[in-house]
Amino acid sequence: MTVESGVTATGEKRSDDAPAGEALGRQAGRGLRWSLLGTMAVKLGSFAMGLVLARLLVPEDFGMYAIALAATQFVMHIKDVGLIAATVQWRGRLEDMAPTATTMAFLFSIAIYAVFFTAAPWYTTLAHSPEATPIVRILTAIILIEGVTAVRVAALLRTFRQGTLTVANLAGLAVNAAVAIAMAADGAGAYSFVVGQLAGWIVTGVIVMAAVRMPFRFGFSRSIARQLMRFGVPLAASLGVEAFLMNADYVIVGHALGTVAVGYYLLAFNVSSWAQGIIGTAVRYVSVPVFSRLSEGGQRELSDGVNKSVPLLVTILIPIAVLASALASPLVIFLYGHEWAPAVAALRFLMILTVVRILTSFALDILTGAGATKSALWANLGWAIALIPALWVSTYAGGIRGTAIGHAVVGVVVAMPLFGFALHRVGVRLSTMVLPILRPVIGGLVAGIVAWVASHHTSHNSLLELAVGGSLGLIAYVVVALTPVQWRSLLGRFRRREATDVAVG
């Protein structure tokens, strides 16, 4: 069905009518800008909401929410059996497969929710938080909304309409914040988290459904279903394992140390996830369609694209991770208060895990775009097999600090090599990235030392420690990490902007 010449019902331009100047890079760049803007706005809003809730609620409330969040993040990764990515990567007309994909996503979400609704008491008992059972059941209901909107979200991603998703997500966040804060002020405890999130997802889903100009139809084609499952099932399994990897520590900490310790760990994990939430989420919105298109041009084109993007990603990521780790104590105390200081012990090492998470997630996107979802699954499975015993031992040995250390070590020693091998198998040349990455890594080490020393020689004022340590650490990073070519490029841009300002003045 078309709504105008050369345009599908989803707003996607067909290849025969596409403007000649509309290059993939321009589409991806526009999508990435919207993704960065949207995710940054959402994360800033979530951060502000978290600051308010941290002063209205107690660590035990955060702990129960963490238990429910772990279950929800797992089901959110598997709820559509990889159908969103399969739709983005679909090589034919979207209208031909949409009814089948919609039917499958809807039925799978209902079935998965039924399983988790039934298993919730067992899961919360395992985490030594049986009182969190109704909270788990409410929060996991989000996947029912996702089951309805999955194909429409994929249609927006496929056509690089990240601006629409940004609007939908911001509207959902506004509703989430209003409901959660009002309920927390009224004494609803952990229920304020889950009811707020559920209300926000409903609003986001309504906007997405209204934005995609495609009839909502159910249908089923065996041949299309087989193609979707051939691509989607290994990906869903891989994403499920990935979610398990990122949330198993909540269950283990709860079982070993109790709900209050989970609350401290959740706060540390949330702070460490800011970079993942902003950079990783924004990149993921565009990376799968981009690498899917690049893989159509062959292994060399895919490898060249990866070699250009990974060093840039590392250069941006390293200073964020290093400075947050070096300044973990003043950061937590300034934002949340001295009562949350126990979270610092975990945060320092969780920043190492943040680097691992963003890079492995990017590798997963590359493998997904190349159609190598089975390779991604095996890499994540190897990571999981090594992680669980390591988390169990390290948590009992060192509390939440031990949990963070165990998670970070396994990520560096096991996960990174496994995903590197998987990328090598699809033709990505990794050796050419070593030198471009080495300089930012050295710069990060220098920046971390400078920031730590500067903060420890500043008066015991958390804001002043952050300002002095962060500024000096960032300057040290820029001096060491940037190459002469990058310096000349930055100076050239500054001079051009200065000349423009003078001309305008």
Note the pLDDT of residue 278.
67
Listed in sequence order, the residues at least 6 apart from 132 whose beta carbon sits closer than 8 Å to its beta carbon are 64, 67, 68, 124, 190
Contact 303, 431 (CB under 8 A): no
Distance CA 449, CA 445 (A): 6
Listed in sequence order, the residues at least 6 apart from 314 whose beta carbon sits closer than 8 Å to its beta carbon are 359, 437, 440, 441
Per-residue pLDDT 10s for the chain (505 aa) are 333 333 343 444 444 444 433 455 555 555 555 556 666 666 676 667 777 777 777 777 877 877 777 777 777 666 655 667 677 667 667 777 888 888 888 888 888 889 889 988 988 888 778 888 888 888 888 888 888 888 888 777 777 676 777 788 888 888 988 998 998 888 888 888 888 989 998 999 899 888 887 778 888 888 888 877 777 677 667 767 777 777 788 888 888 888 888 888 888 888 888 777 667 666 665 676 677 777 766 778 888 888 888 888 888 889 999 999 999 999 999 888 888 889 999 999 999 999 998 898 888 888 877 777 788 888 888 998 999 999 999 999 999 999 999 999 999 999 999 999 988 888 888 888 888 888 899 999 999 999 999 888 877 788 899 999 999 999 999 888 877 776 666 666 656 555 554 444 4
Helix and strand tally (H, E) in the chain?
20, 2
From residue 429, give the alpha-carbon distance in Å to each of 310, 311, 436.
12, 13, 13
Phi first, then psi, for residue 3 (nearest 5°) are -110, -15
Note the pLDDT of residue 460.
77
Note the pLDDT of residue 251.
81
Note the pLDDT of residue 322.
93
Contact 207, 169 (CB under 8 A): no
Note the pLDDT of residue 261.
86
Distance CA 176, CA 187 (A): 17
Note the pLDDT of residue 22.
46
Note the pLDDT of residue 300.
80
Note the pLDDT of residue 19.
41
User: Looking at residue 8, what DSSP letter applies?
Assistant: E
